């Protein structure tokens, strides 16, 4: 027994003996919620995940995380309509993070620095045929190759890229960028066969001893509409015009060009016609601007470039040098109805941009398929009714965008891989979405979005230079750092700092934190003050 | 970090970091720009196992202050503590949570004891050892006020920190001279013509401290850790009498949810209820500007001690409370964004 001073009977002890964790009726737990951008990305990119690396300036790691899902960031950073940005929580603080522009910056960095994909660690010995070297086929080829399969990528055209080359104009996607990203996929050991249309899929598979096939032939046949026309009338379709832009002979459309339709393709052609020297490029569309399927920013850019629009009009007939249009008006249901009011417009040519059909001839004779509305039905695993034949992109029912196509390629690759191994691919369960109300916005400073420099209009009307330019290092870093890191810990130390009971253990850079439940009283301050909603309070079982 | 980023750093203000500018730490800034609380090496002056209520603002505020003071003095610190929650929940005999040289005195004499400790250090030529006295609002603004004023008037070399939870919380939530008007306490019941604490009573000790002309006076909030730590560090760089008044929400006494502690402190600052400023030799030298102004009711409605104002829709009293906040905003110039932040 140690001697105690007068009136003291007990040894001094630390309060650590007092485990206040027993007071708790709720416990905090760390969670990873699904950021709304990731949730909205048709290609399933881990956007918050790659921005996390980009914001430290580690662009290569950022690019590697990005390309785990999408092998085409430089293309996608130019042509994707970024549904991620429409869902970005930052819009509730000031404006959405420029995800698309940072993606493009990373893609361009990769090209500049020659970053490569790694070849697969081991070969599976399986052979997969991918038909169509567009975004969906390229994505599938990349993912299948990463999984160790031997991939042959076969395309009917003279060059790879599909609609990214033969549909999207150069001023939106420079061809060097596309070429570089395609080459990097081929460098992994993907075999590319060009000018090699597949006429009969079953025969081609048999001849090449393929274990499975992924079809992504796209929709390359321009829809026609019957327009009464005189002998000399020049009526062409948008797809052929855009395709011929890639050849030696540029299309001859004349000085006055009328484009019929209201989608993005109509705008692409009208803007291309301007650049080819047309003095007038007019879009005729039967409904209103608000109803145009084209994206509003593209309509805006086209108007800036001098393209004119005739909304609520249909083309009745074409004669030499002019067309007759009829004014329409919307009925109560919002459907356009003829008014009997006609007008004549000068026109050297009419380009039909009324949608595209799929050439499904390669599927002739394949049993078990379901074809509806000109596209092939696929199951949730992207497999058609024929065993081992999968399909994606524009030839299956879906929204026809490059990003959706890339997403299909990835999804199909995972299912094909499982199918080849006699298994079923089960995607991991989605976390709850980190909606704005889960964040503590106090901790974010106001920082407005970076506006991408836009080529001045004069140059745009005459050249095919890229319209929207990219970010430089300074503003890319700035833009990346605008990310709120929704639902995922970014190691701000708030929980560690605000706990009145020191019940949070800091594990050091990259390792996040853990709770010390011996002392956590369950007050919930940490969860409340976590900026990004990465802590949840759950009832304690008592 | 790559070279380009390194190059940019000198021109970047902290403002550049869109997330984490106000957080405890931030992986994107240098260690020196993070708070003491962000560091694994912080001294944790009050360690785990203390018996403060869930979400106690005082436990948090005291750890913030003492950890920062320890960092500033290289751990050469003696703390003198008045009676009150802070003493009772940390040190039920024979246990203690303190990881610092710590003396408990009486309810009313912490300032005087601290003066004595400072004198003893001087006599022993231990000039490196600094003294911090601390207590609740009762111990500071009421019973300890005479000793405190003496310490100020003699310009003794002590930093005195008051943790203001706006009542005698340890003995069951009685009114103090820091209890705000209309607040219900055990001794100011929400009954009669003037429910809750009476308007026009109480005292403003930071302003009284300034009137002593001492080298440094500041107010601080547990909702702005960067500001609080900066003030403690600054105070420790000065000799003579110094005073810091920290508002610390009390879930039990205020009738608020335990998870709302920091939120309430933030709302008090952002509504103008609790002005955050600093002064040297009696002259105001800095104020923390309001970022997103909120009406006072946002702050009041989260606290049951004000529930009577809402139950009967007491517009005149709500109005008076809003006016008080408006007056603070005008007096301390808390809104305009020129000058210091
Ligand atoms: C001389 C004296 N009178 C009364 C008490 C009883 N007492 C202990 S703590 C306390 C109230 C403390 O209030 P405050 O200083 O505001 O600290 P808090 O507990 O609110 O943090 C009282 C009245 C005492 N200890 N000594
Ligand atoms: S702040 Fe601390 S005591 Fe409160 S719930 Fe979080 S870990 Fe537990
Ligand atoms: Mg008190």
Give the model confidence (pLDDT) of A384-393 as tens digits: 999 999 999 9
**Could you tell me if the CB of A499 is within 6 A of ligand 2?**
yes
What's residue A203's pLDDT? 96
Among A339-343, A449-453, B22-26, B331-335, the range scoring the smallest mean pLDDT is: A449-453
**What is the C-alpha to C-alpha distance for residues A22 and A475, in angstroms, rounded to an integer?**
50
Q: What is the mean pLDDT of residues A305-325?
A: 94
Handedness of CA A237, A239, A242, A246 (dihedral sign): negative
Q: What is the mean pLDDT of each run of 10 residues along chain B (341 residues)?
A: 36 44 86 92 96 98 98 98 98 93 96 98 97 98 98 98 98 98 97 95 98 98 97 98 98 98 98 98 96 96 98 92 98 76 40
CATH of domain A14-32+489-539: 3.30.70.20
The reported pTM is 0.89
Pair B328, B283: CB distance under 8 Å: no
- Position A334 scores a pLDDT of 87
Whether CATH 1.10.3720.10 fits A222-355: no
Of residues B157, B176, B154, the one with CA closest to residue B165? B176
The total of other beta-carbon atoms located within 10 Å of residue B124's CB is 9
Of B5, B37, B59, which has the smallest distance from its Cβ to A477's Cβ? Answer: B5
Ligand 2 test: best mutation among A503, A505, A528, most atoms within 8 Å of CB? A503
Q: Between A264-275 and A296-304, two packed helices, what is the crossing angle to 10 degrees?
A: 20
What is the distance between the alpha carbons of residues A190 and A145, in angstroms, rounded to a whole number? 7
CB contact under 8 A, B19 and A497: no
DSSP assignment letter at B138: I
Tell me whether strands B77-81 and B101-104 are parallel, antiparallel or unpaired.
Answer: parallel
Q: Report whether A530 contacts A442 (CB < 8 A).
A: no
- What ranges in A193-336 are assigned the alpha helix state H? 201-207, 238-244, 264-275, 296-304
DSSP characters for B274-320? S--EEEETTEEEEE---SS---HHHHHTT-GGGHHHHHTT-HHHHHH
Share of chain A above pLDDT 90, in %: 83
Enter the ipTM: 0.93
Q: Which neighbouring-strand residues pair with A191?
A: A152
pLDDT digit string, tens, across residues A59-102: 999 999 999 999 999 999 999 999 999 999 999 988 899 999 99
| Interface A:B, Cβ pairs < 8 A | 179
CATH class as words, domain A127-220+358-420: alpha beta
Alpha-carbon gap, residue A435 to A88, rounded angstroms: 9
Measured from the Cβ of residue A410, the count of other Cβ atoms closer than 10 Å reads 24
A515 lines ligand 2 (CB under 6 A): yes
| Residue A9 in this model has a pLDDT that exceeds 50 | yes
Q: Do A503 and B48 touch (CB under 8 A)?
A: yes
Q: Phi first, then psi: what are they for A407, rounded to 5°?
A: -60, -45
Chain A residue with the nearest C-alpha to that of B6: A57
| Domain B2-332 in this protein, CATH class | alpha beta
> What architecture does CATH give domain A37-115+446-479?
Orthogonal Bundle (1.10)
Q: Specify the pLDDT at position B341.
A: 40
Q: Are A333 and A327 in contact (CB under 8 A)?
A: no
- For the Cβ of B137 lying below 6 angstroms from any atom of ligand 1, the answer is yes
Domain ranges across chain A: 14-32+489-539, 37-115+446-479, 127-220+358-420, 222-355
Could you check whether A127-220+358-420 and A222-355 share the same CATH topology? Answer: yes
Of B59, B95, B259, the CB nearest to A18: B95
Could you read off the pLDDT of A203-258 as tens digits, one per residue? 999 999 999 999 999 999 999 888 998 887 889 999 999 999 988 888 889 999 99
Average pLDDT over chain A, rounded to an integer: 93
Report the C-alpha gap between B273 and B182 in whole angstroms: 13
Residue A130 confidence (pLDDT) above 60: yes
């Amino acid at each position: 027994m140690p001697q105690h001073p007068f009136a003291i009977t007990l040894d001094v002890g630390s309060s650590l003996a007092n485990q206040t964790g027993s007071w708790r009726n709720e416990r905090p737990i760390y969670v990873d919620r699904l950021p709304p951008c990731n949730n909205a990305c048709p290609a399933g990119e881990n956007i918050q995940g790659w921005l996390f690396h980009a914001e430290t300036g580690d662009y290569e790691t950022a690019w590697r995380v990005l390309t785990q899902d999408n092998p085409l960031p430089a293309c996608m950073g130019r042509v994707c309509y970024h549904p991620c940005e429409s869902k970005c929580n930052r819009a509730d603080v000031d404006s959405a993070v420029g995800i698309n522009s940072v993606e493009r910056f990373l893609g361009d960095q990769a090209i500049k620095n020659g970053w490569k994909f790694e070849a697969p660690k081991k070969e599976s010995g399986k052979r997969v045929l991918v038909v169509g070297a567009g975004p969906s086929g390229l994505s599938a080829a990349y993912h299948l190759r990463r999984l160790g399969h031997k991939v042959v990528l076969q395309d009917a055209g003279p060059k790879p890229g599909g609609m990214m080359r033969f549909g999207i104009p150069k001023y939106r996607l420079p061809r060097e960028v596309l070429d570089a990203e395609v080459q990097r996929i081929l460098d992994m050991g993907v075999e590319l066969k060009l000018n090699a249309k597949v006429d009969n899929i079953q025969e081609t598979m048999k001849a090449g001893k393929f274990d499975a096939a992924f079809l992504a032939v796209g929709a390359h046949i321009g829809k026609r509409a019957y327009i009464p026309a005189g002998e000399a009338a020049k009526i062409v379709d948008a797809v052929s015009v855009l395709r011929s832009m890639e050849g030696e002979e540029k299309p001859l459309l004349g000085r006055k060009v009328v484009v019929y339709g209201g989608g993005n393709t109509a705008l692409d052609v009208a803007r291309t016609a301007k650049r080819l020297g047309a003095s007038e490029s007019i879009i005729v569309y039967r409904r209103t601007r608000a109803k145009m399927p084209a994206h509003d920013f593209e309509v805006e850019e086209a108007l800036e470039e001098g393209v004119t629009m005739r909304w609520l009009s249909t083309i009745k007939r074409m004669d030499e040098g002019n067309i007759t249009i009829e004014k329409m008006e919307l009925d109560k249901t919002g459907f356009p109805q003829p008014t009997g009011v006609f007008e004549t417009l000068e026109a050297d040519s009419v380009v039909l941009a009324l949608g595209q059909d799929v050439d499904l001839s390669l599927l002739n004779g394949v049993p078990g398929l379901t074809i509806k509305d000109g596209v092939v039905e696929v199951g949730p695993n992207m497999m058609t009714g024929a065993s081992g034949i999968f399909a994606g992109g524009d030839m299956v029912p879906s929204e026809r965008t490059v990003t959706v196509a890339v997403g299909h390629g990835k999804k199909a690759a995972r299912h094909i891989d499982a199918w080849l191994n006699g298994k079923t691919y089960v995607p991991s369960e989605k976390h709850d979405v980190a909606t704005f109300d889960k964040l503590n916005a106090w901790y974010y400073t106001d920082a407005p979005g970076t506006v991408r420099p836009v080529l001045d209009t004069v140059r745009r009307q005459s050249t095919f230079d890229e319209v929207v330019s990219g970010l430089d290092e300074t503003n890319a870093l700035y833009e990346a750092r605008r990310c709120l890191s929704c639902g995922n810990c970014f190691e701000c130390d708030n929980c560690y700092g605000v706990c009145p009971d020191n019940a949070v253990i800091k594990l050091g850079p990259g390792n996040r934190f853990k709770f010390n439940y011996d002392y956590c009283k369950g007050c919930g301050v940490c969860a409340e003050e976590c900026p990004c909603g990465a802590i949840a309070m759950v009832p304690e079982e008592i | 970090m790559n070279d380009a980023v390194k190059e940019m750093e000198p021109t970047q203000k902290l403002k550049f970091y869109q997330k984490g500018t106000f957080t405890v730490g931030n992986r994107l800034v240098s260690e020196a720009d993070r708070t003491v609380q962000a560091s694994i090496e912080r001294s944790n002056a009050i360690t785990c196992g203390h018996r403060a209520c869930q979400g106690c603002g005082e436990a948090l505020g005291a750890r913030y202050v003492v950890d920062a003071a320890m960092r500033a003095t290289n751990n050469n610190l003696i703390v003198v503590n008045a009676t009150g929650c802070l003493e009772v929940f940390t040190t039920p005999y024979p246990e203690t949570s303190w990881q610092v040289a710590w003396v408990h005195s009486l309810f009313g004499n912490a300032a005087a004891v601290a003066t004595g400790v400072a004198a003893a250090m001087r006599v022993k030529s231990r000039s490196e050892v600094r003294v911090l006295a601390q207590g609740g609002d009762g111990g500071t603004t009421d019973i300890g006020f005479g000793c405190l004023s003496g310490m100020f008037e003699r310009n003794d070399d002590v930093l005195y920190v008051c943790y203001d939870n706006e009542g005698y919380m340890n003995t069951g939530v009685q009114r103090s001279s820091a209890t705000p008007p209309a607040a219900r306490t055990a001794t100011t019941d929400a009954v009669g013509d003037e429910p809750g604490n009476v308007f026009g009573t109480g005292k403003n000790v930071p302003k009284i401290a300034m009137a002593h002309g001492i080298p440094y006076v500041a107010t601080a909030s547990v909702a702005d850790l960067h500001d609080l730590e900066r003030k403690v560090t600054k105070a420790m760089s000065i000799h003579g009498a110094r005073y810091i008044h920290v508002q610390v929400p009390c879930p039990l006494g205020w009738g608020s949810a335990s998870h709302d502690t920091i939120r309430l402190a933030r709302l008090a600052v952002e509504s103008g209820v609790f002005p955050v400023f600093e002064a040297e030799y009696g002259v105001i030298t800095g104020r923390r500007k309001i970022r997103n102004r909120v009406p006072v009711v946002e702050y009041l409605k989260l606290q049951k001690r004000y529930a009577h104002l809402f139950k009967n829709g007491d517009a005149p009293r709500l109005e008076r409370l809003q006016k008080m906040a408006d007056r603070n905003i005008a007096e301390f110039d808390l809104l305009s964004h020129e000058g210091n932040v």
